[in-house]
Structure 1
Amino acid sequence: MRQLLLAALVAALSAIGPAAAQTSAMLGIPFTITRPAGDGPFPGVVLLHDCSGLGPGSSGAAWRWSSELTRLGYVTIWPDSFSTRGFPGGVCSEPNRGAVAPRYRVADAYAALAHLRSLPFVDARRVAVMGGSHGGSTTLASILALPVNIARGSPGFAAAVALYPSCGPRYGEWEVVHAAGPASPVTSYRGVFRPLAPTLILTGELDDWTPAEPCNQLVRAAQAAGHPMEIRIYPGAHHAFDSAAPVRHVAGRMNANAAGGRGATTGGNATAWADARIRVRDFLAAHLQATTR
């Protein structure tokens, strides 16, 4: 039955015009696909949503980036990691969100990659992974780990873009050492983050939810070890700078970097948002060899 549903979905999508979306079930997880007009094969991007999810309370970041990427000639797929796992409203203020932690969403990212590669209008060799915040952390975890079933056959993601991820958790050999707990001062950095493909991090100087400095240190250590990583820290920008939303502090948000574990600031920054679109466009074009329009 699942194979029949997927076959029907592929047939339906093949007839859809530019930037059209379809939602169905993939390995028990809802997902949405958008595609440019034409036959392809197109490069693709797996988009990983932030802690607000894809429901009515979503930040809209997946829609914004999908629109941008589809215009540039990419197929996008956005797996919904939360709604069927008991968190339809997202997990930004949810203390019991361990079941959908970034490390568990890696499986969603690779399921989405496998599904894209099954579509006749997608170039299986040219698929990137990208996400912001919770999705940015999942992006880092995904580009660090290659599942065995992928390793046996085709390669993993060709590139990765992480927007304002949390670089504080342990990623493989990489570790941020605190004096006493996550919200306490950082005393040192250890190890090396070793991405499996070129990786770009975009983050804000004033981010109090996922601070920029651990990401800066992560990238510098990776570069020193010869790994293809880049970072851009936007002056004056907060968390979720890639929008037109006003800057605001919400006391109920779960924040391991805040005293008491709650409270974080988000808001758009026009300069950072404009530059991020250019950098993502150029980075993906360079590493997926796509023709930008």
Structure 2
Amino acid sequence: MTFAGQGLMLHGELFRPDGPGRFPAVIALHGCAGLYGRHGDLAPRHADWAKRLVAEGHVVLFPDSFGSRGAGPQCKVQDRITRPAKERRDDAFAAKAYLQDREDVDPGAVSLLGWSNGGSAVLYTVGQKRPVQDGGPDFAKAIAFYPGCRLPLAHGDWHARIPLLILIGAADDWTPAKPCEELATQAQAVGEPVSIVVYPDAYHDFDHPNLTVHETADLAFTADGSGSAHTGTNPAARADAIRRVPAFLAN
């Protein structure tokens, strides 16, 4: 399916429960590997979460921020044409406007979720105090899986205007937990609705349905600058996230 973006038509994947609605909705932002797997099908993590969120009664929209701009996976690309703070943020707002115009979606219950690069886009999308400019209700809630928090923290002007949940692994050596903990602490100190869960011994992609922990090399950005980081499923963290995400969205 396609919908209007900022100066382009965005491609995406839409999933919905049976029945007429109106349903709450989730906009799901893929990571730097992109929306699809190597064989062109929806990546396993995305397919798994889509099934779970639809079962909880949500419409789920995955914008394809890379493919819509003719780009492939970006994990090993330093000069990215699709940035979390600009193009991906624009895509999130465009997806919100599209969903809020649908008859089967509750316009006041559109939330935002993202992983890694998409999690960083979540931070930039909700981390601004200016009102939403599209005339529709703001995002209801937001969830960021293992986002990159270093730059928002360093800029010193990040503020969460809606409830935000950050889920990240203590052992993450791609997008480390410490800057996210500091970002959450600063937000909480001024009364902003940010919560964080740091999972012991969990790496990047801990919520993947079946990914053996391994080391990936030649990455464009990592915590120590080496270009190498670990990624893979952590069963305990995954199980907690599966429980925690729908509960957060529902409350």
Distance across 2 between alignment mates of 1:63 and 1:78: 10
In 2, the alpha carbon distance for the partners of 1:127 and 1:120 equals 13
Over 3 Å counting, the alpha-carbon distance change for 1:147 and 1:221 in structure 2 is: closer
SS, match of residue 151 in structure 1:
coil
1:96 aligns with: 79
Distance in 1 (CA, whole Å) between partners of 2:54 and 2:239 is: 17
2:199 to 222, 234, 240: 234
Query: Contact 1:50–1:135 (CA<8 Å) still a contact in 2?
Result: yes
Q: Which of 101, 109, 115 is the matching residue for 2:98? A: 115
Cα deviations by residue, 1:198-217 (Å, 9 ceiling, x for unpaired): 00000001000000011011
User: Deviation of residue 25 (structure 1)?
Assistant: 4.5
Q: How far apart, in 2, do the equivalents of 1:145 and 1:193 lie? A: 7
Report which stretch shifted further, 117-126 or 138-147. Answer: 138-147
* Alignment map for 1:138-287 (pairs within 5 Å): 138-145=121-128, 150-151=132-133, 153-170=135-152, 174-175=153-154, 191=156, 193-243=158-208, 244-260=210-226, 262-286=227-251
Q: Cα offset for 1:175?
A: 1.8
Could you say which structure has the larger radius of gyration? Answer: 1
For the 8 Å contact 1:130–1:139, the answer to whether it is kept is: yes
Cα distance, 1:125–1:25 mapped onto 2, change above 3 Å: closer
CA 1:157 to 1:53, structure 2 compared with 1: closer, same or farther past 3 Å?
same
Rounded Cα–Cα distance in structure 2 between residues aligned with 1:85 and 1:272: 33
Q: Distance in 1 between matches of 2:158 and 2:2?
A: 35
What pairs up with 1:51-62 in 2 under 5 angstroms? 51-57=32-38, 59-62=43-46
* TM-score (normalised: structure 1): 0.79
Aligned-residue Cα RMSD (Å) equals 1.7
Change (3 A) 1:146 1:109: farther
In the alignment, is the contact (CA less than 8 A) between 1:242 and 1:268 conserved in 2? yes
* SS of residue paired to 1:252: coil
Instruction: Give me the whole-angstrom Cα distance separating, in 1, the residues matched to 2:128 and 2:55.
Output: 30
2:107–2:137: 8 Å Cα contact kept in structure 1?
Answer: no
Aligned residue-pair number: 243
The answer on 1:44 being equivalent to 2:44 is no
Q: Tell me the CA shift for residue 146 of structure 1.
A: 6.8
Gaps of 5+ in 1: 1-22, 177-190, 287-293
Taking the aligned partners of 1:54 and 1:152, their CA distance within structure 2 comes to 26
AA paired with 1:41?
A: R
The CA deviation at 1:166 is: 0.5
| TM-score, normalised with respect to structure 2 | 0.91
* Kept in 1: contact 2:128–2:159 (CA 8 A): no
Change (3 A) 1:265 1:82: same
Q: Which runs of 5+ in 2 are unaligned?
A: none
- Give the residue type in structure 2 aligned to 1:84: S
Instruction: State the identity %.
Output: 38
Is the Cα–Cα contact under 8 Å of residues 222 and 228 in structure 2 kept in the other structure?
no
Distance 1:271 1:153, change over 3 A: same
SS, match of residue 168 in structure 2: strand
- Secondary structure in 2 matching 1:62: helix
